[in-house]
Amino acid sequence: MVITAVTRAARRRRTALPALDRWRAVRSTLAFGACLTVVTAVAGIHYGVFAAIGCYVDAYGTRDPYPRRGPVLALLCAGLVLAFAAGSLAAGDVWAMTAVLAVVAAAATLFVHTLRLSGPGSYFVVLVSALAAFLPPVSLTETAARAGFVAVGASVSWLSAMSGRLVRPYAPEERSVSAALRSVAAFTAAVGQPRGDTSAAQRSACTAVHAAWAALDDTRGRAAPALRRQELDALMVRLETVLDAVQNAAERGGPPVPAAWAPGLRQAAAEVRAGRTPGSWPAGPGEEGAPSPGGTADCSPPSPPSSSRPRPRPSHAPRPAPLPPRRSIGAELRQALSSTSPAPTIALRVGLAVAVATVLGWALPLLHPAWVAVGAAASLQGGPGRQPSQRAGARFVGTVAGVAVTVLLAQVYQPGEWATVIMVTVFHGVSRALPPSALLLRTLLNTPVALLLVNAVFPGPGLGPLAAYRLLDLTLGMCLGMAAALLVRGVPRRRVCAAVSAAVGATGPALAIRLRTGTPHAASGGTAWRRTGDLWTMHASVPAEEIRSTDTADRLWPALLAVRRLLAWNLLAGPAAPAPDDGARVGGFLHALAEAARTDLPGSARIGSALSHSPRTPSPAHDPDLHRRLTALRSALEHAALPSPGTKPPADGG
């Protein structure tokens, strides 16, 4: 008994520790160390620091597929260099500095959030621009030289970030698909239990499946997809079939799903993670067995262009999702100010905090006022799913711990130039091995890096006093960031409602055409998935931008799930006889729901009043399951909840 208890405790401890990305740590250490070492040896530590801050690009894009990571990171590298040059040119003029840093902070925030670039938001872009702005003014020639070294560091980090493509070009997509398989396996196991709450497992599974589809969507281009990506696409369509069946079992309160599904999905996840195609697959509903989705007997030829993709085949046959040609990066950026995007509010909040911090940093007698602006940006961005107060708390504790480590180091050792190079390289590499959720530990490791580099370039009071000023300046900046969060309170309700309305409204034409013609329509279906993706982004952003937790995200979730269930039916249902009347009724019904969703949040009295005048829920003759899903969407909007398992749908909706 004692041995068993000790073993379980040790296992829990290992699970609590953050998983380390060793390969990323090696790449970041080599890139950062090479830039800092070579430039320091050739031009001195003063220029080596500028190359080192260019290497901060390695904090971004680590989870993005290579076809998307390359161009988006290249744009970020160019933006980082321009932000540094703009800050340097504005140095010495407080109002020019304020304008430049506010614009840089807002523009970088819009860029990162709109393109969904994984990383710490606009934090490092603001840091680089603020450091340049608060340095003494220099000539144009010196500004160009410093910006050139920043470009060197950014370019080396870009090459490092893309180097994995030479070894495993599909690794990011494989990790996403593997995570989706594991999450659906956990949901399947939870549904298989006789008594238990499956809502958390269902939310986790749907979120992971959405992330995997987004990763595969990011790889699409004009050329035909590679064979491996076709296999992953086929796996995801099959996974949608399994997820749909498990959700049916959970929502209807029916018998548990086959016990072999969960271990089979876990095995498939391990195979995909290792870069292999699963040798077997859980049999779907009504199937005797299912061969490997990527086996030679089951491998489909390269998919045709999205606009001419074939209609869905039976669930045991792989086929690509009916999506239209992907939007360009420029088209995505033009959506930054859309009414369904949370990015403008977040950008306004960060820009305001940085502007006020810049003015105060200039006015107050601080040793390094740039850290005030950096602290303001840091408190508003960082770990995924964290509220501003949680981010600020984690960064504050991490900064205190990092300052303590630096002060202790200063008591026993004063590093020279090359010792500084070695130490900051090690600290930087280890910090990159940590996952984004380990915000406190990352801040702890990043703090000595900043202090050691600044101490090497601007020798003055020493590491001890410098660390104390760092803590003071960052604390002031974080307080300003929290004040901005209080002033600009989260994502406006009208944007949340617009995102719900857009997703419901885009689903209407997709289902209407599907019923009218008997086959799915690529363009309308792709638009519906895209609007649903915007709703996913809104659902994730709302709780991360709230000072105090509200129930907004919980009220959004049933509607998001109901829309997704309708789109899954549109994707997975087999061909049927054309039903123009059913198509017209479903299209009109969803249009009425979309108009009602624009009035207020799901579950509110206003949306209930608007829905009271909507038409009754259609009952397509050929598919009663569609009626159940339409009823679930109406319930999600009216009551912010899905119907209870086993509940008989109402006879009409109005």
pTM assigned to the model: 0.86
Residue 309 scores a pLDDT above 50: no
Highest mean pLDDT among 141-150, 288-297, 302-311: 141-150
- Over residues 331-336, mean pLDDT: 77
Q: What is the pLDDT of residue 182?
A: 96
3-state secondary structure string across 429-443: HHHHHCCCCCHHHHH
pLDDT digits (tens, 9 = 90+) for 167-201: 999 999 999 999 999 999 999 998 877 766 788 89
In this structure, the number of other CB atoms found within 10 A of the CB of residue 485 comes to: 24
Residue 286 scores a pLDDT above 80: no
Q: What is the pLDDT of residue 292?
A: 43
Structure tokens that stand for 348 in this block:
């306004």
Residue 12 scores a pLDDT above 50: no
Q: How remote is the C-alpha of 553 from its chain's centroid?
A: 16
Count Cα atoms within 13 angstroms, Cβ side, for 71: 9
Burial pattern 29-66, b for ≥16 Cβ within 10 A else e, equals bebbbbbbbebbeeeebebbbbbbbbbbbbbbbbbbbb
- Over residues 415-442, mean pLDDT: 91
In this structure, the number of other CB atoms found within 10 A of the CB of residue 286 comes to: 9
Residues 6+ apart with CB under 8 A from 300: 230, 234, 317, 318, 319
Rounded Cα gap, residues 417 and 133, in angstroms: 25
